[in-house]
Amino acid sequence: MLQTGKNKKILALTGVFLGIAMVALIVLFHTVIHKSQMLKAQEAVYNLLQVQLAIREYVHDTIRPEIYRLQDQGVMQADYFSPELMSRSYISREVLKTFLDLQGKEFSASIFRYASRSPLNLENQATAFEEQLLSKFENDEISEYCEEIVQNGQAALFYAVPLGRFDSSCLLCHSDPAIAPPSLVARYGDSHGFYRQEGQLSGLMSISIPLARFNAQCVKTSTVVAFLTALGFVAVYFMIRALLVKKDGQDLLLEQQNRELDRLSTTDPLTGLWNRLRFNHETPRYIAQAQSRKESLAMAVIDIDHFKKINDTFGHSIGDEVLKIFSAYLQEKCRKTDFLARLGGEEFVILTPAITKTELEHFCQRLLEGMIVVEYPHNLKLTASVGVALYQDGEDQSLFFSRADRAMYESKEKGRYCYTIAE
């Protein structure tokens, strides 16, 4: 788990960035995949229409000329006409219908259509929209038309291409009904599909196929790609998280080491009290705090009486033990807001904020009275000399300490085991 706020923020921002990037990439992939599937659908529709055009061309270039030849030779009746054999539209439509039926239910909903302004078969009469397309095809504004539509409540792809233009052979059936095969006129009548001109566009051919299969493939592919993309981004996220956790641990370890170094550098190793370095650092802060709050601040300098004799008589190990016990005693007497430090040797200092002179005197008295009941090795009785100074506006740390220190020496000159408040 991350511990530092900085690394938590970095990880949170990384998660947001990766999330946005992942969504954007998934959307991009989906768009590309959808476009690819639509191109496949267009290709399928285009191929179907090209097959239709090929069938029409085969009927026009091969079947019809052969029938006309047989008619000229008298093998077939001169007025013979059969759409099942001679109509390009009929034959190509039936072939496509058979093909689509063979493809199954998915393509059975496809709609194939011929459209003309004046068709022989009125089923092929152009709609208003098809009329617009015919005009654009005839004026060579477009060569094909393709768009996604909604057909019977489902997405479909609509594709349309122009048919060929009438030539002289086409006009045998589409010019004057008087010269058209009687069987054709008998089948379709003489009110429509005639009086066409050479070079005129015969019509258009369109097909619309359902996009369900292509959309399903798009969803399937997009789902797989989205899953793999998300998996990749999640892997990247956890890799970054692992690196940040590792860095977080290193940062915490470094912070702990720095705190420990700071503690060691500002703590007296024998007594565990703050040392002179920390005293020099904290005193200006206490002074600034007293000034801002308009409170008093006292400094008490304490020096153990005749400590050198203890070291000379019992040794430094006993002297160290005495210092530890005396330090613990001073800690008991200090308030939580007080600052206690060992300046060195047998000298200590206490910073006491928000205290009156009367309270300070009582504090010093209690401090001295309690000293003689503290138990030390070898039944030693320990006393100390105390010098106290109340902070005066305008003086710096050095002068403040100097006054308290001089007051302590005055206590020693008075005979020790007493306190003196600096004027």
Cross-strand pairs, 342: 348
Structure tokens at 11: 């990880």
Classify the phi-psi angles of 381: left when phi > 0, otherwise alpha if psi is within -120 to 50, otherwise beta: beta
CA distance 364 to 361: 5
Catalytic residue among 57, 94, 130, 346: 346
Phi and psi at residue 347, to the nearest 5°: -105, 135
Sign of CA dihedral 9, 10, 12, 17: positive
Pick from 115, 132, 133: which is nearest to 124 by CA? Answer: 115
Residue 208, CA distances (Å) to 64, 110, 145, 148, 306 in order: 29, 6, 12, 9, 112
413 belongs to the catalytic site: no
Structure tokens at 154: 């489902």
Q: CB-based contacts of 160: which residues, under 8 Å, 6+ apart?
A: 130, 133, 144, 145, 146, 204, 205, 206, 207
Kindly list the catalytic residues.
Answer: 346
